[in-house]
């Protein structure tokens, strides 16, 4: 398989390095691995833009056209709806003294669009348990308990890293646009760039999830617990009795001794994704419509 080889002027290397740590990699990720992840994310974003452009009716790519691609995966759509609600609530808190409108009447264009295409109501049903997000949070909790104060503060910073800075400023959106389209051949509205930033973040998260699954597969081929739902999100952080908990578990070697995710582990993730016919070597389950695009 060939990955994107050419260099771009804009880079999200530092942000991806932090995100990888925040999602479960070593606090000092392998530089070559970070660059490979960056290339995969960029290639996938460009594929998403290409697919979304098929539904575009004008010269400007809109957020709705990007969100439409997610319609085949209700769980990821629900997660995105939660993201939009959290973003709206954050905006209201930051502008609590200036917002005069009724809070119930404030709704983003993307939320309204999702409601229009949500014929069964499943996209906006936020009562359903999000196992993937929960397991990521559980993994983060296990890691945080293994870190000293200095590393914990670094971990908190890493957990806040994203592709759209802190407040989705125009400057960060411009950086993302130039990263995806350095030749400036396409036009995006701000909502589209925000959706792409979200997709990029979720792509990094999925890659790290699967890389840890690959690592667990290589170390615990006879583990009777490996097939439990969500077990691969946390099993790689524990050995022996540490996995089962206890009254006073020793967390000192849970994360700090984990080696950085290697190039080969990322390449194995991509091999499994692009070779689902390998049977046991794939990730299991029914293949989604957009099986090659992690964010969708």
What pLDDT is stored for residue 103 in this prediction? 42
In a domain, 17, yes or no: yes
User: Would you give the distance in Å from CA 257 to the centre of its chain?
Assistant: 24
In a domain, 5, yes or no: no
Residue 54 forms part of a structural domain: yes
Domain that holds residue 245: 13-281
Give the span between the Cα atoms of 239 and 215, in whole angstroms.
13
- pLDDT attached to residue 58: 79
* Residue-level pLDDT at 156: 92
Residues 123, 81 contacting (CB under 8 angstroms): yes
Contacts of 146 (CB under 8 A, 6+ apart): 237, 251, 252, 253, 254, 255, 256
Distant-in-sequence, close-in-space partners of 262: CB < 8 Å, separation ≥ 6:
30, 33
Q: Quick one: 88 exposed, middle or buried, by C-beta within 10 A (0-12, 13-18, 19+)?
A: middle
Residue-level pLDDT at 86? 85
N- to C-terminal Cα distance for the chain?
Answer: 21
Q: Match 């070597």 to its residue by tokens.
A: 281
Considering the entire predicted model, what is its pTM?
A: 0.80
In whole angstroms, give the CA distance from residue 16 to residue 29.
10
DSSP 3-state assignment of 19? helix
Split into its structural domains, the chain has a count of 1
Measured CA to CA, the distance from residue 117 to residue 162 in angstroms comes to 28
pLDDT beneath 50: ranges in the chain: 1-8, 98-106, 168, 224-254, 278-282, 288-289
> Which residues are paired to 61 by β-bridges?
188
Residue 149 in any domain: the answer is yes
Is 207 a member of any domain? yes
Note whether residue 172 is domain-resident: yes
Residue 296 forms part of a structural domain: no
Residue 288 belongs to a domain: no
CA 24 – CA 206 distance, rounded (Å) = 11
């Amino acid at each position: 398989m060939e990955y994107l080889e050419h260099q771009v002027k804009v880079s999200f290397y530092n942000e991806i390095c932090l995100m990888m740590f925040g999602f479960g990699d070593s606090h000092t990720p392998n530089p070559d691995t970070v660059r490979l992840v960056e290339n995969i994310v960029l290639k996938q974003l460009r594929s998403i833009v290409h697919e979304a452009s098929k539904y575009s009716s004008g010269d400007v790519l809109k957020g709705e056209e990007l969100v439409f691609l997610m319609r085949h995966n209700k769980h990821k759509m629900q997660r995105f709806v939660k993201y939009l609600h959290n973003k709206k609530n954050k905006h209201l808190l930051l502008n609590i003294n200036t917002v005069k409108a009724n809070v119930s009447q404030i709704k983003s264009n993307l939320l309204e669009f999702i409601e229009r295409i949500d014929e069964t109501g499943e996209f906006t049903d936020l009562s359903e348990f999000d196992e993937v997000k929960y397991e990521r949070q559980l993994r983060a909790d296990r890691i945080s308990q293994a870190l000293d104060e200095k590393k914990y503060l670094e971990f908190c910073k890493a957990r806040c890293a994203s592709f759209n800075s802190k407040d989705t400023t125009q400057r960060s959106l411009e950086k993302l646009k130039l990263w995806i389209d350095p030749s400036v051949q396409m036009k995006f509205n701000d909502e589209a760039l925000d959706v792409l930033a979200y997709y990029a973040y979720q792509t990094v998260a999925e890659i790290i999830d699967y890389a840890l699954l690959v690592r667990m597969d290589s170390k615990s081929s006879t583990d009777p617990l490996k097939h439990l739902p969500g077990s691969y999100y946390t099993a790689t952080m524990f050995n022996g009795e540490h996995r089962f908990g206890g009254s006073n578990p020793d967390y000192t070697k849970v994360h700090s001794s984990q080696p950085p995710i290697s190039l080969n582990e990322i390449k194995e993730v991509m091999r499994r994704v692009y070779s689902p016919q390998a049977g046991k070597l794939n990730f299991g389950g029914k293949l989604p419509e957009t099986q090659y695009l992690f964010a969708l």
